[in-house]
Amino acid sequence: TPRGSGTNGYVQRNLSSVRHKKDRVDYKSEEELKKLESGLVKKPNQDILDHERKRKVELKCIELEDMMEEQG
């Protein structure tokens, strides 16, 4: 009984000692690991690659234009 114990009698769980599911290690087969690793590697975005290529071409054009202006 809570009488004389200095508490109101409400019982709570101690969550610091509860084991969580993430603490367990689930070992997987080699095939599953390869499949998971392949999913982590992303292919580059084609739009971004095209944009970078266009920027390089534009930069080269500007450099050539500056060189031609200097030469007359």
pLDDT tens readout for residues 43-60:
888 999 999 999 999 999
Calpha distance 53→38 (Å, rounded): 27
Kindly list the domain boundaries of the chain, sorted by start residue: 44-71
Per residue in 19-32, is it b (16+ CB within 10 Å) or e — as a string?
A: eeeeeeeeeeeeee
Give the CA count within 13 Å in the CB-facing half-sphere of 53: 6
In tens, the pLDDT along 21-31 reads: 666 666 677 88
Is residue 55 a contact partner of residue 62, using CB atoms and an 8 Å limit? Answer: no
More confident residue, 69 or 27: 69
SS3 state at 53: helix
Q: What's the pTM?
A: 0.43
